[in-house]
Amino acid sequence: MTERGLRAPFVASRHLSHVDSSTRSRRCASPPTLNAVAQLSLLDAATHSYDVVIVGGGPSGSSCAYWLAKAGWDVLVLEKKVLPREKTCGDGLTPRSVRQLADMGLEDAVAATGHKYVGLRANGFGQKLELEWPATGAFPSYGYCITRLDLDDLVATNAANAGATLCTGAEVLSVDDLGPVVPGHGLSSCGALTVKDKASGQTVQVKARYFVVADGANSRIGRSLGAARNRQWPSGLALRGYFNSPRHDDPFIESYLDIRDHDGSIVPGYGWIFPLGDGRINVGVGLLSTDKRWKGVNTTKLMETFCAYADPSWGISPETATGPATGGKLPMGLAIGPRTGSNVVVIGDAAGTVNPFNGEGISYGYETGRMAAAAVADALLGAGSSALVDFDKELDAAYGDYYRVARVFVRVISDPKVMALCVGAGMRSQWLMEEILRLMSNLFRPDHRGAAELGYDALEALTRTLPQGLAERLLAAS
Ligand SMILES: Cc1cc2nc3c(=O)[nH]c(=O)nc-3n(C[C@H](O)[C@H](O)[C@H](O)COP(=O)(O)OP(=O)(O)OC[C@H]3O[C@@H](n4cnc5c(N)ncnc54)[C@H](O)[C@@H]3O)c2cc1C
């Protein structure tokens, strides 16, 4: 049996503590605020050659920066926006994310700002079930909802406090001196980056020994190095808006498994309502590319239909909306590759790490950031580019099998008839839905062989036995 995704949270402790972080830290003597750190000018950054430069200060980039800086490496994060910044998201942290935040010493800060919740209320085909997060040992049995405005600021500040240098309002425009693709890698190597200071319009060149690309779902920098999405594999698209609600502090997040378009037909996707505890709720719809109607679906209309369909007690209406809904892509299932060059690693959404089962990407951003930090530290310590090949293998070991199963699952579930059958049957059993929640959230228990583990193993064996792609095609045709 494979280790499923369970390895990921534990992988990064290997070679990250070889140096006392105080010996290399470029931060102020007293713990700096983000603004103090972020004011390091891009011009200063350009005069220095870093151990590692990270493109993007979202979950994956900031986690990578934190783990590297904590170990004493000289790290620069280039973030094109000025923090705190909005990021279109459901704002939901699962126990998997909470585990990573706790490991970065941030759980108290998240608890002080966010809203703690205990589980998922699943709605579908007229049924409603309250499913508490399981006790798994490795992960807590609760999550938080917290806006990305607050969350990403906290995590980036934490990286800066650990010694990373953070330049905000610094947009990476291009990769300079693209090197050849070295055997064992699929991406070009990177000589330097051209970076624009958005406030002054000035551009500079920034150099490093290693580069980490964490620039999110659109990943212009990843693509310029040669990364591309496998378009045969599922992808997602989601839209969210904020509403004032009397149930803003509900102890459950809510999902809808049978969202419909305006003519009442089921659409392959899901709807959510995540309480933020600050008077607001985050409401959204996610869509999967596995349905032929994908390109034709009017997402704004779908969102309106969902808002009208959701339980009225949430108080969702045009009058309670606090602004227009915004959308974004969900690159999932490790559909983006290659992920390494001889001195480059691509992580998070830029590597397509969103979980196809549930659209969760924050935890996988933290985890891949941490794994990349360990690999780059190994490379810097002398292992060179082979350590990055190991990163790729580690990523595959952590998520490869699980995401292959997930890709098949979303293809199968995209057939409205199959969806109605499976969800309709599942929703009649609390126990079964609890096991499905564990499977879909990648919260397996190493010490336990429940239905989630057994069901996963059966699906995994099926997708492994059949030749590449055949399982997806056969199941899709069934
Ligand atoms: C509508 C929606 C709802 C979602 N809901 C959830 C949810 O509830 N829970 C969950 O776990 N996941 C959710 N996700 C997925 C989650 O948002 C992502 O998986 C996560 O943000 C990935 O983190 P990242 O660091 O890889 O990328 P990002 O968070 O996108 O961060 C990338 C950063 O790079 C910066 N950047 C980009 N280009 C450049 C450049 N050229 N130079 C410098 N900086 C650059 C960006 O400004 C950004 O700050 C949702 C996604 C969407 C679209």
Query: How is 114-175 classified by DSSP, letter by letter?
Result: SEEE-EEEEEETTEEEEEEPP--SSS-S-EEE--HHHHHHHHHHHHHHTT-EEEESEEEEEE
* CB-count exposure of residue 429 (10 Å: 0-12, 13-18, 19+): middle
Pocket test for ligand 1, best of 53, 80, 196 (most atoms within 8 A of CB): 80
Give yes or no for residue 330 CB within 6 A of ligand 1: yes
Calpha distance 218→329 (Å, rounded): 8
**What does the pLDDT read at residue 289?**
83
Q: Whose CA is nearest to atom 35 of ligand 1?
A: 56
Q: Which atom of ligand 1 is nearest to the CA of 94?
A: 11
Q: Which atom of ligand 1 is nearest to the CA of 284?
A: 1
**What does the pLDDT read at residue 293?**
66
Q: Whose CA is nearest to atom 53 of ligand 1?
A: 328
Question: What are the tokens at 271?
Answer: 């709807």
CA distances 174 to 28, 48, 187, 239, 345, Å, are 30, 18, 15, 29, 16
Calpha distance 26→455 (Å, rounded): 49
Q: Reading across the β-sheet that carries 143-145, which strands appear in turn?
A: 92-93, 143-145, 115-117
Pocket test for ligand 1, best of 154, 197, 223, 349 (most atoms within 8 A of CB): 349
Give yes or no for residue 236 CB within 6 A of ligand 1: no
**What does the pLDDT read at residue 15?**
42
Question: Which stretches of 5-108 are assigned E, i.e. beta strand?
Answer: 49-55, 75-79, 92-93
Peptide bond into 331 cis (omega under 30): no
**What does the pLDDT read at residue 31?**
36
**What does the pLDDT read at residue 27?**
32
238 alpha carbon to ligand 1 midpoint, in Å?
12
Give yes or no for residue 57 CB within 6 A of ligand 1: yes
* Residue limits of CATH 3.30.9.10 in the chain: 118-144+236-329
Q: Which atom of ligand 1 is nearest to the CA of 362?
A: 11
354 alpha carbon to ligand 1 midpoint, in Å?
10
- Cβ–Cβ < 8 Å for 309, 156: no
Q: Whose CA is nearest to atom 27 of ligand 1?
A: 216
Kindly report the CATH number that applies to the domain delimited by 118-144+236-329: 3.30.9.10
* CB-count exposure of residue 224 (10 Å: 0-12, 13-18, 19+): middle
- Cβ–Cβ < 8 Å for 79, 166: yes
**What does the pLDDT read at residue 5?**
37
**What does the pLDDT read at residue 92?**
98
Helix (H/G/I), strand (E/B), else coil: 345: strand
- Which CATH architecture is the domain 4-87+149-230+332-401 placed in? 3-Layer(bba) Sandwich (3.50)
Q: What is the DSSP letter of 426?
A: H
**What does the pLDDT read at residue 97?**
98
Give yes or no for residue 95 CB within 6 A of ligand 1: no
**First and final C-alpha spacing in the chain:** 27
**What does the pLDDT read at residue 462?**
63
In one-letter notation, the amino acid at residue 354 is V
Calpha distance 207→442 (Å, rounded): 38
* pLDDT (tens place) for every residue of the chain, 478 residues total: 333 433 333 333 344 443 333 333 343 333 344 444 444 678 888 888 999 999 999 999 999 999 999 999 999 999 999 999 999 999 999 999 999 999 999 999 999 999 999 999 999 888 899 999 988 888 999 999 999 999 999 999 999 999 999 999 999 999 998 888 888 889 999 999 999 999 999 999 999 999 999 999 999 999 999 999 999 888 999 999 999 999 999 999 999 988 888 788 888 788 999 999 999 999 999 988 876 666 777 888 889 999 999 999 999 999 999 999 999 999 999 999 999 999 999 999 999 999 999 999 999 999 999 999 999 999 999 999 999 999 999 999 999 988 988 888 887 777 777 777 777 777 878 888 888 888 888 888 777 777 677 777 767 766 666 555 555 555 444 3
Residue 307 zone, left/alpha/beta (φ > 0; ψ -120 to 50; rest): alpha
Q: Whose CA is nearest to atom 18 of ligand 1?
A: 361
Question: What are the tokens at 410?
Answer: 């979303």
- Cβ–Cβ < 8 Å for 252, 130: yes
Q: Which atom of ligand 1 is nearest to the CA of 62?
A: 25
**What does the pLDDT read at residue 149?**
97
359 alpha carbon to ligand 1 midpoint, in Å?
12
Residue 103 zone, left/alpha/beta (φ > 0; ψ -120 to 50; rest): alpha
Q: Is the Cα torsion angle 224, 225, 229, 235 positive or negative in sign?
A: negative
**What does the pLDDT read at residue 99?**
96
Pocket test for ligand 1, best of 215, 299, 440 (most atoms within 8 A of CB): 215
Residue indicated by tokens 């050849």: 180
- Residue closest to 273 by CA, chosen among 300, 299, 306: 306
Q: Whose CA is nearest to atom 38 of ligand 1?
A: 215
Give yes or no for residue 349 CB within 6 A of ligand 1: yes
Q: Whose CA is nearest to atom 51 of ligand 1?
A: 89
